[in-house]
Structure 1
Amino acid sequence: MSTSNVETTQDRNANGAGGSGPVTVCPGDSRYAELTVGHNARWVGTPESVRLPRTTEQVERIVQDVVRKNERFSVTSGGHCYADHVYNPSVRTVIDMSLMTDIYYDPRHQAFAVEAGATLLQVYETLFKGWGVGVPGGIFYSVGAGGHVSGGGFGLLSRQFGLTVDHLYAVEVVVVDARGRARTVTATRRKNDPNRELWWAHTGGGGGNFGVVTRYWFRSPDATGRAPEQQLMRPPKDVLLNAVALPWDELDEGRFTTLVRNYGSWYERNSAPDSPYAPLSSLLNLNHRANKSVGLLTQIDATLPGADKLLQSFVEEVTTPVGVGVRPVTESVGEQGPMPEFFHPVRLPYLTSVRYISTNNATLTNPALRGAYKSAYMRKGFTDDQIAALYRRLSDPAWENAASSVILFGYGARVSAVGADETASAQRDSIFKALYSALWREPEDDEANVGWLRGIFGDVHAATGGYPVPNDVTDGCYVNYQDGDITDPEQNRSGVPWHTLYYKHHYPRLQRVKAAYDPRNVFRHPQSIALPEG
């Protein structure tokens, strides 16, 4: 297995690091509190140090140092880990990649380089302003690229352009060999690359399993020509954005059932790769009744002929049969803030829409919020029993947390144009994803909120042991929405192991990559890929 040369001084200067040394933050430093808690305030670390490298060479030295000391360590790029994989009592060193944020065109690879600590909004802005290109990533502005990409990240453009990893050309990773030596490997998607399996593992195999990702390179597989702006997908010039609400006080069980059934049925009919609706995506925010309404956010490529009619048809097909008039979104729904100005579709430039959607989210900027999350890939719409369980839990008058919800994200279309084995993202024929979540502020409310989340998730998937096992309706869980319960047999009674729910049949292959690049199991967390037995 060949390795790349460690980054040179010339490379570092070209990438803006200027040779500056890494930063080390220890207890007592004014920065320590900021750097030992992530997006979820439930998880606060107590490491002996937080180390922030600026270059690949520095990452390699830091990894070598913690391996030599036999220290337990974790890695973070953006702090959005939903579980305690980064910040937990066993971790003595946190490697924080947030100072490595360079984004540039690399003529050596004829691709766009993105360092692991760059946030998604930085990626979108730099790529679009500089070259008019982009990647179909997520909607949260502050998510770090490092973990988002490796877990098979998706967003509102994925139905039109696929997953982020469908445009991933190469990845640079600091790994540790059997002798305990840290080294830097560059793995590409080229068929003859001896490190190609390491590239493949980072197309949905999750972060923290094989090494420290230092940068990615993006080039679309159908790229033509040699100019930079020809190497990557081009987002739509404009999009149409629409947001409507349906009041909970008018949603009885029959109307709620019609709404959820309509949403699933629409995606069942319109999720083929060549569907005229591939450029449309949506979020159905099924909030608890305490929120007062449910919301539907829809985006479509405005440059398509008849885009306005396609959007109108979608909204009407989902909502009109419910028998409840839609209203402006005047209060927060799900994780999105009020959006009354989008009751009628508004045409926005692409980057303007990205900034708006990604920042119209109070949960991203509230440092006190605590959360619990679960997920499900859906290959079909919810069954009647599942919808009944959703209604029962979301309309329960005894539960009063308005920030409890099930959010349905549009999926499918171009996502399913890629074969299940071409990348490590196995759930290619799902039509939407479901994110179950509860958010709250006070530690004393942890037990109640975690209990509510377990209750609704377990009820919806009761027929399959409390988890969405791969079958004709569901297809497991999304690894980027990490769920601490998935390894607990008291919660996951399905008999299907956690790694099958995340990775399906890819897990043995991922284990072989693990054995090749992390034979000492240096890179591990509570749900990391295990070395193969024997």
Structure 2
Amino acid sequence: MRSFLSLTALTSLALHVLAQDVDQLKADLGDVQAVFPGDGDYTTAAQPFNLRFTGIAPIAVTYPTDAAQVGTAILAGSKQNLQVVARGGGHSYIANGLGGKDGALVVDMSKMKDIQVNEDGSATIQTGNRLGDVVRVLSENGRAMPHGTCPFVGAGGHMSFGGYGFTSRQWGLAMDTIYSADVVLANGTAVTASETENADLLWALKGAAPSFGIVTAWHSHTFEQPQNATVFTDTYDLTVEEAVSMVDAFTAFTFSGLPPSFGSELTITKGSEKGKVTIAHVGAIYANVESVNETLSGFTDNVPEPVSISRSPGSYVDSVLNLGGVDSLDVSKPDSNDTFYTKSLVIPEAEPMTDEALTAWFDYNANEGFDSDLQWFLQIQMYGGNGSVINQVDTDATAYAHRSSLYTYQLYASSPNLLPPFPDNGYTFLDDMVDIITSSMPSDWEYGAYLNYVEERLENWQDLYYDSHYQKLQTIKAAYDPNNVFYFPTSIEVPSA
């Protein structure tokens, strides 16, 4: 793996460390494995997934093997007033798992990867597991659960903030499967959070977990693994007018009474020529291929002919591999890095984007997007519609606030060669894109944003991510972490005195 940690960052960290007693920190960590600056594997241990954040230098990266060692690490850090952050898969888009700035103590969960499937079909999933691990073990037991497509993403953060995938319309978000959690608090104690024990903490964990403690294991319901799964991809090359009509058709399709076992998204990329966009309708139905074509006719009958069609029937695991773009569930090797910026929009069911807003958006994508040297894609992910389990959960049942969503948009732009530095025009490209959408909608449009596509430049992030739940989260934060030990750029803030 290439090293990107700069000499400047290491020098900055060295100055910061002067204010800390590193020898005492090492002594307080005791038997907990830890990597410090100057150690041979520190550069790899401190490397972010998003290389835009190369240079963030933690004071140390620890690797506990059980809850007791997690508690030891937390107490060792808080004793010196360090920010303590959990890292699961390390895929935070803004390197929250490194603390977001120099000097954090990282508690890396990768040594805690046990998964137990119980006789009743429930599962205990330690948070050092990646989604590929979860799929593999559950599948060996004939079980499955909702989750995203990338097998390398960690179960800790993914389940903390949502966890959308193509099974979510029938099973909910990954977070919705959780019925209890094992968590280590800021005072180093290990507790259970459930409906009957620390219920307020469980509520907060299901939407904002890393702000309140370090979850060592999720206890989750699982589902019988589908017998069949068919992945489909239909690709279109469209003018702006055709693209607007396609999204309108997609919205009508979403509300048409689709079977819950159907999930899909529209992925938008650069078109074949200026003034056009490419749109791929990608998804899966957890049934045989005949069911796919029958279900899709409600959409394909109302849009232009695609330039390519793909149908990939197979097993459930085949569908996970296909959608994840991998040929194995082995996630022991590092995932590929990227240098990117993202934004998100949660579109309410009650007020989808108007044709005026869609036209302005697609005009921008088809023209400025075509001229851009960035590697970009946009996704319109189907959350809502009749029968979606995501929106059947009461809005106030969890800290996750967006239970009346139609779509979540992910807007993603990488540097031209996927490596640093990230160009300034990459920020304006996506910022302007979102501004075009929001300025074309009514001023009281109640859109939101999605934390698994977190960004560090988002104004009013408290409301956009958490809506009316933020004040309650602050109250719970004050109860469980009054000294703000678990701090990172988008962590829940301790309320002012």
TM-score by length of 2: 0.84
Tell me the alpha carbon deviations over residues 197-250 of structure 1, each in whole angstroms, 9 at most, x when there is no partner.
11111112x24210111111112xxxxxxxxxxxx3113111111112112xxx
Which structure 2 residue ranges, 5 or more long, are not aligned? 1-29, 328-332
SS at match of 2:146: coil
CA drift of 1:505 comes to: 1.2
* 2:369 equivalent to 1:376: no
- Equivalent in the alignment of 1:351: 317
CA drift of 1:446 comes to: 2.2
Q: 1:523 aligns with which of 486, 490, 495?
A: 486
SS at match of 1:506: helix
CA drift of 1:358 comes to: 1.4
Tell me the alpha carbon deviations over residues 329-380 of structure 1, each in whole angstroms, 9 at most, x when there is no partner.
xxxxxxxxxxxxxx3422110011112211359xx97745201111111124
Which structure 1 residue ranges, 5 or more long, are not aligned? 1-19, 220-231, 329-342, 488-496
The AA in structure 2 aligned to 1:355 is: L
The AA in structure 2 aligned to 1:390 is: W
SS at match of 1:169: strand
CA drift of 1:475 comes to: 3.0
The AA in structure 2 aligned to 1:85 is: N
Note closer, same or farther for the CA distance 1:452–1:360 as it changes in structure 2 (3 Å cut): farther
- Equivalent in the alignment of 1:514: 477
Q: 1:183 aligns with which of 184, 189, 195?
A: 189
CA contact (8 A) 2:261 2:285 kept: yes
Residues 255-270 of structure 1 aligned to structure 2 (within 5 Å): 255-267=242-254, 269-270=255-256
Tell me the alpha carbon deviations over residues 370-401 of structure 1, each in whole angstroms, 9 at most, x when there is no partner.
01111111124321122122212211256333
CA drift of 1:307 comes to: 1.7
CA drift of 1:315 comes to: 4.1
CA distance in 1, matches of 2:87, 2:245: 42
SS at match of 2:251: helix
CA distance in 2, matches of 1:368, 1:54: 26
Residues 155-304 of structure 1 aligned to structure 2 (within 5 Å): 155-176=165-186, 181-189=187-195, 193-204=196-207, 206-219=208-221, 232-247=222-237, 251-267=238-254, 269-270=255-256, 275-289=257-271, 293-302=278-287
CA contact (8 A) 2:52 2:422 kept: no
CA distance in 1, matches of 2:441, 2:86: 34
Residues 83-482 of structure 1 aligned to structure 2 (within 5 Å): 83-87=94-98, 88-105=100-117, 111-129=122-140, 131-176=141-186, 181-189=187-195, 193-204=196-207, 206-219=208-221, 232-247=222-237, 251-267=238-254, 269-270=255-256, 275-289=257-271, 293-302=278-287, 307-317=291-301, 320-321=302-303, 323=304, 325-328=305-308, 343-360=309-326, 367-380=336-349, 381-396=352-367, 399-401=371-373, 403-412=375-384, 413-440=388-415, 441-463=418-440, 471=445, 474-482=446-454
CA contact (8 A) 1:287 1:402 kept: no
CA distance in 2, matches of 1:106, 1:312: 37
Note closer, same or farther for the CA distance 1:257–1:156 as it changes in structure 2 (3 Å cut): same
The AA in structure 2 aligned to 1:203 is: K
CA distance in 1, matches of 2:317, 2:419: 36
CA distance in 2, matches of 1:46, 1:216: 29
Tell me the alpha carbon deviations over residues 58-108 of structure 1, each in whole angstroms, 9 at most, x when there is no partner.
10111011111222332210111111423333333211111211111368x
CA contact (8 A) 1:149 1:202 kept: no
Q: 2:88 aligns with which of 73, 77, 89?
A: 77
CA distance in 2, matches of 1:166, 1:369: 29
Greater helix share, structure number: 2
TM-score by length of 1: 0.79
The AA in structure 1 aligned to 2:372 is: E
CA distance in 2, matches of 1:326, 1:430: 28
CA contact (8 A) 2:61 2:106 kept: yes
CA distance in 1, matches of 2:453, 2:367: 25
The AA in structure 2 aligned to 1:285 is: T
CA contact (8 A) 2:356 2:440 kept: no
CA distance in 2, matches of 1:143, 1:481: 12
Tell me the alpha carbon deviations over residues 133-190 of structure 1, each in whole angstroms, 9 at most, x when there is no partner.
12111111111111111112111100011112222111111112xxxx321111113x
Note closer, same or farther for the CA distance 1:96–1:299 as it changes in structure 2 (3 Å cut): same
CA contact (8 A) 1:66 1:73 kept: yes
CA drift of 1:21 comes to: 5.0
**Please, what is the CA RMSD of the aligned residues?**
2.5
Note closer, same or farther for the CA distance 1:415–1:100 as it changes in structure 2 (3 Å cut): same
Note closer, same or farther for the CA distance 1:290–1:43 as it changes in structure 2 (3 Å cut): farther
CA contact (8 A) 2:339 2:422 kept: no
Aligned length: 450
The AA in structure 1 aligned to 2:396 is: D
- Equivalent in the alignment of 2:76: 65
CA distance in 2, matches of 1:290, 1:66: 53
CA contact (8 A) 1:41 1:367 kept: no
CA distance in 2, matches of 1:532, 1:71: 19
SS at match of 2:113: coil
- Identity among equivalent positions (%) equals 26
CA drift of 1:303 comes to: 5.5
Note closer, same or farther for the CA distance 1:464–1:30 as it changes in structure 2 (3 Å cut): farther
